[in-house]
Structures are given as structure tokens and as C-alpha cells.
Structure 1
Amino acid sequence: MSDIIIIGGGVAGVSAAACLAPHAQVTLLETEKSLAYHASGRSAAMFIRDYGNACVKALNAASADHHHNADGGVLSRRGMMLVARADQGAAFRADAADLGLDEITLDEAAALWPILNPDTVGHAAYRPDAYDLDTDLLIQNYVRRARAAGAGFVTGAPVSAITRDGARWRVTAGGQDYGADIIVNAAGAWADDIARMAGVAPIGIIPYRRSMARIAAPGGLDTSKWPFVDGVEESWYAKPDAGALIVSPSEEDLADPHDAWADDMVLAEGLARYEEMVTHPVTRMLANWAGLRSFAPDRTLVIGPDAHTPGFHWLAGQGGYGFQTAPAASQLAADLITGAAPELDAATITALSPARFA
């Protein structure tokens, strides 16, 4: 049985731990004092099967059954609507086609989303099969499965050194030393930093900030049955949340790896784009926060063994797709490590491989 160290306690790391623990002695190391602290704790938490590029959509499709059924499922139907001004017709049609949405009338859109402004919204499209994803439950399910199979989780343990001792790795974290045959780099925005520490060439994982604001339910209305609403060209989005509404500017601002926070001006600009399409102005924010969405240069996840360093595996570059792709992504990572036959097709596996950057 191999010893495996997973670095990173977000959804990528904990799902990989659950998939690998039945086959190896797994230890997960997380810098923060709790799991799912950074990007995984700040997600909008949706499962939209047609959200992302071709590789992401393949991972979504392979993850759908798990999300719907494993441990009782983590999805609840929400629905998704796209709205645009009359002068944004071309971009609207492109987005609707890419996301698998059907055009609906403005009256139909207003019935689904009562705050829609008929004076500014010129186009709307909808699909019913978009889902809220219970991120906390998914994390708990994976952690429970991993621990039941013998995995260990060490929090408050920032990695300070990674060296090779013959064929084995030595990782120093939180002042303790850990040995392993294999390292899984699931460090999110810090994935390239972990690679450099191990003497592995970085891939070029780039973190981008994404901010969110929680606002009171417009007009005191019941938002619980409203759809997830997206502005054309991902200019903003709004989602019901615990009786209120989350609104994001959908920005992608380059950032260094850090504990991210929202930018007030960016939030103001995003809220203005949202306000243009609704009948109720935003008078105040209840809360705001930000997370880092980390992408590889080609915006496709990076899953598999490093092309030049034996025993070093990547599970990184999830961007905004970490939760919805986690079941298939973690299973692929485990299959490639254990030598099992992957269920994903060969072309997708190749497209996800770190070898494409060698």
C-alpha cells in the first residue's frame, strides 16, 4: 500500500482523499484551521451541466449521477435564466446556445423572476434543470468516506518544505515531517507554489478574484423559488440565498494567492449592472466576500501525473467548476494513481493531462 500526501483541503483535496483512501494510506495537509476555507468556502454552489468548456462539460456529465444520488444527493432544483438588453441579441443567442437555454417571452421571464425590468430587458432564456449544490454537505460526505477508509486530515499545517529522499517524498508542514510515495497537488491558487517547492516546473495556474454581495430580498419578496439569473457575457449573476439574494459582478481580476476580499468599486459596478435589469434598487449590502478562481493557461483542469517528476500528481486549475466537476475529477485522479481503468474517454483524459504543458 502506498503512502499518499494530498496538499490542499478544498473540494479537490477532500474528494481525492475519499477516492484514494480505500487503496492507500492517505494524509491530507491543509494550511488553514478548517477545510474548504478559501475558494471552496465561497462558491455560488450551482450545478449547471452545460457550464464550461468541452472538458468541463464532460466532467460535469460524469459527475451528475453522483451529485444527484450518492449519499442521498446534494442537489435541489433551482432553474437558470439568462437576461440581456435588446441591443445584446447576438451575445444573448451565443450564451443561450452554449448554456443549453431556451428563449422565453418576457412575460414568462417576469413570472419566474418578478423583479425583471421590462423597460431594459429585451431577451430572456431559461432551463429548468440547473441546481443548487449543497457544498457543505458534499464536503462532509467526502470527509466521512475518507476517514472511514483510514485517511487522516491535518489542518493548521502550512507546507514549508518538500524534498526527495530517494524514491520517497518528505513534506514538512506545521512543524511536522511526513513521508509519502506520492504527492497530490490540490492546493488551488497555491498549486504552482507547491510545485516549485517540490522542484517541479509550474504550469502557470493563475488566480482571479471573484466578488459577491448579499443583499436583502428585493421588496421583501419571497426569493426561494426564483431562478439563478445570469447577465449576458457573464457580466453579473444573482442567486437566492437563505431568504436574501447573492449578487456577483462576475469579475475576473488577476490576483496573487491570498485570503481574498471584495473590492468595493468592483461590487458597486456589478451591482449597477444588476440594477439596470431589475425594478428594485439596491439600498445596502448585508455582507460581501470574495474568492479566488484559479485557471490553467487554457482554462481546462489539470489532472494527472507530472510529465517530468515521478510521484507528483496534479489536481488543480478548477476555476469556477470545482464543485460541479469534483466527483469525476477526483475519480480520474485516483484511477490514474492506482492504475484503474478510467471511465472518462481517452481524448478528455489527454486534454486534462499536465503533459500538455510539458
Structure 2
Amino acid sequence: MTHPDIVIIGGGMAGASLGAKLAAHAKVMILEMEDRAGYHATGRSVAFWEESYGGPIVQPLTTLSGPMLATPDPDFHDGSFLSPRGTLHIGRAGDEPLRDTLLNSFAGRVELQTVDPADIVPGLRPGWTLGVMEASCQDINVAALHQAYLRQFRRHGGEIRLATRLEAARSDGTGWLIETREGSVQCGLLINAAGAWADDVAIACCVAPIGITPLRRTVVQISVPDLPSPDMPLIMDLASRFYFKPEGRDRIWLTPHDEEPSPPCDAAPEELAVAQAIARFEEAVDWRVGKVEHKWAGLRSFAPDRTPVYGFDPSAPGFFWFAGQGGFGIQTAPAAAALAAALITGTALPPAVASLDSQAYSPTRFR
């Protein structure tokens, strides 16, 4: 039996980022059920940092993560994880309330500018007359970020066990005994960073679930031979029916913005969602669509109020929630990990995230 101080369930962006923060202060082990870390949501992200994405309660986490992603410590990563993109939110007649809600919700917090979308998108079809530009949006090098966290975790002495699924765990009031098919692990603190499996992990630990719901998101990679420019902004429908962005010279990543409830699983795209994505794309622009080159799906996991859950469970000593990140867990990873690490170690929030209200994300709101 091994005896780390802390066990983190899940080696995706959540578990890796928090593990990297904690490993310098304690003996930390990550248990990852797949053969490689980041196989599910982390490895299937459309990969952008957008301050308005996720709504006003998520925005502080995203905004504070921006500088840490743009100019990381050289010992952590050489160069920025971000590259310029910008977002153009577009809408049609009748979408004015959606536009105004976007503008009002982030007034004084995110720089948004009303524009004529036809001036920015060649080939935009008639009727798309509403536009809001969010120039701060950037692409994220997700793979590099995840690997940087795992390197830092290991450099500080952290251990990751792949293909190791938590089968059950029980608390004796002072710590946890975790059972896996590969043997038992005993620890003082158990961190639930299991993404779509977060509620399943809680149940296996005899902890009341919160109601973390996995929602499937489909993404299609299509060739677009006449793509005006690979540097065009992310195009996001104000009515949340699609978004797409260039991925290279003649290629688009496209989603119908679907949110289909799903059990925790290795998510696969459904043909109806793929067809909807292409149809909605063709409603927006007159660019010629080539072939479907690739399609995939990922699970975005939400708490009932669609706000992340970071904190100790008030009914289960030594059980810490780091879950419910929805589709914004990657763009908020630096700030979220710094917040959670401070809560776990009982230290003051670092200056970079000192303005965060930890109670807004606490699991006590569900108890």
C-alpha cells in the first residue's frame, strides 16, 4: 500500500494544474483511469480563451488566467500559450436582446464593441446584421499547457498512475483508503477532479453527489477551399446555435453548440449533430464546403447552476471538489488551480487571484 498525502482523481487539465500547484508542498499522486492523461475533455477542446465565455461568474477566473497563460514563468514554459484570434459575435433581426445582454453583462469588465459583421466576414449571408467584437479572445495551445502542468507536477515529485480507476474509497475520519484494481492507496486528502465522472467518484466514496451533468458537444473539422483568411476571428452565434474558427489555411473547426445530456463515457459524435453543424454554417456564410475531414465529441460537465465547484465538501472531511468546469476549464485553469491550492493549504490567495470570491464556487451552496 502506498501513502501519499494527497490523491487527485483525474489527470486532465483540472487534475494536472492543481497537482502542479500542490506537489511542491506535499506528496501528491494522480490516479488517471485512462492509458493517457487528458484523453477526454482536455484532448477534445476547440481551444480558445474568451473572457465572456461561461458568463459573468466565470469571467473573473478567465480574465485572471489570461496573464498567466500569456506570460508564464520561464521555468514553467518557454513562451506564451496564447495566440491572437478575436471573437465576432453575430446575430440576426430579433437577436437584439441577446446582443444587449452580452454588452450589459460585461460592461466595464470585458472590452466589447458593436460592429457591422459584414465588414469583417467576407461572404457573410444577408440578414446577419448584428455584430459584437471581442478582440481579446485568443487561441490556447492546450496540449502544451497540459504537458507543462504534468512536467511541473513530476518535477516537484508528483506521481501519476495511468490506467488506474478508483473503484471505491472510504474515510475513517482522518483520511481515505482508496481501492483500485492495482492495489490500495491511503491518503489524508482526496481531490475529485474527475470531470464527467465527478459524481460517480463521489458516490464511490460514499459522498453525496452534487448533480454534475455531462453534456455532449460535437465538433466537425471541414475543409473550406475558399476560406478568406486563416486569421479570421472565432465566429459565435449570439443565439448559441453554432460557432466556428479557422484552423489553418483552408480548414474550419465547427460545432452546432449542442449540449446533449450523456452518461460519462468515451463520447462519440452523432451524425445528426454533424449535419446540423454544417447546415448552420451554410446559413451564416457562402463559403464552399469541402469534405468532412474529422469529427469528434467531448463531454462538458456542469453543476446545476453552471458554476464551477471548488472547495471542501462540508459533509465529508478531507474530500475536495474540483469539478463542474463546463466548457471553460482550460481557459480558467491557472486561476482555478491557484484558488484551489490556497483553499487546500489554508494560505492566502496569491496576488494574481486575490480578487476572487471563493464562496461563489464553494460546494456548500449545494448542501
Shorter chain as normaliser: what TM range? over 0.9
Alignment of 1:1-358 (within 5 A): 3-70=5-72, 71=77, 72-98=79-105, 100-109=111-120, 113-117=121-125, 119-165=126-172, 167-219=174-226, 221=227, 223-243=229-249, 244-343=251-350, 344=353, 348-358=357-367
| Equivalent position amino acid for 2:349 in 1 | P
Q: Distance in 2 between matches of 1:222 and 1:105?
A: 17
Q: Distance in 1 between matches of 2:173 and 2:260?
A: 41
- Residue identity (%): 38
Assess if the C-alpha contact under 8 Å between 2:56 and 2:105 holds in 1.
Answer: no
CA-CA distance at 1:218 after TM superposition: 4.1
Q: Distance in 2 between matches of 1:22 and 1:272?
A: 50
| Equivalent position amino acid for 1:90 in 2 | P
Assess if the C-alpha contact under 8 Å between 1:217 and 1:223 holds in 2.
Answer: no
CA-CA distance at 1:192 after TM superposition: 0.5
Q: Distance in 2 between matches of 1:93 and 1:150?
A: 49
- Where 2:20 maps in the other structure, the secondary structure is helix
CA-CA distance at 1:45 after TM superposition: 0.8
Q: Tell me which stretches of 4 or more aligned residues in structure 1 moved more than 3 Å.
A: 95-100, 343-347
Assess if the C-alpha contact under 8 Å between 2:217 and 2:297 holds in 1.
Answer: yes
Assess if the C-alpha contact under 8 Å between 1:8 and 1:31 holds in 2.
Answer: yes
| Equivalent position amino acid for 1:55 in 2 | I
| Equivalent position amino acid for 1:22 in 2 | A
Unaligned 5+ segments in structure 1 are none
Per-residue Cα deviation, 1:136-161 (whole angstroms, up to 9, x for no partner):
01001111111110000111111112
CA-CA distance at 1:85 after TM superposition: 2.0
Comparing 96-105 with 173-182, greater Cα deviation is found at 96-105
Assess if the C-alpha contact under 8 Å between 2:167 and 2:179 holds in 1.
Answer: yes
| Closer, same or farther: CA 206–107 of 1 in aligned 2, 3 Å | closer
Q: Distance in 2 between matches of 1:91 and 1:230?
A: 12
Q: Distance in 2 between matches of 1:90 and 1:298?
A: 22
Q: Distance in 2 between matches of 1:285 and 1:173?
A: 40
Comparing 241-250 with 336-345, greater Cα deviation is found at 336-345
| Equivalent position amino acid for 2:234 in 1 | F
Per-residue Cα deviation, 1:41-98 (whole angstroms, up to 9, x for no partner):
1111111122223331111122122111112220001011111223433323333554
TM-score, with length taken from structure 2 = 0.91
| Closer, same or farther: CA 346–93 of 1 in aligned 2, 3 Å | closer
Over aligned residue pairs, what C-alpha RMSD do you find? 1.8
Aligned residues, how many? 353
- Where 2:11 maps in the other structure, the secondary structure is coil
| Equivalent position amino acid for 1:149 in 2 | H
CA-CA distance at 1:103 after TM superposition: 1.4
Structure number having the greater helix percentage: 1
CA-CA distance at 1:304 after TM superposition: 0.7
- Where 1:299 maps in the other structure, the secondary structure is coil
Comparing 169-178 with 270-279, greater Cα deviation is found at 169-178
Q: Distance in 2 between matches of 1:163 and 1:48?
A: 40
Q: Distance in 2 between matches of 1:84 and 1:253?
A: 23
Q: Distance in 1 between matches of 2:62 and 2:260?
A: 25
Comparing 231-240 with 45-54, greater Cα deviation is found at 45-54
CA-CA distance at 1:125 after TM superposition: 2.2
Comparing 135-144 with 337-346, greater Cα deviation is found at 337-346
Unaligned 5+ segments in structure 2 are none
Q: Distance in 2 between matches of 1:126 and 1:88?
A: 15
- Where 1:192 maps in the other structure, the secondary structure is helix
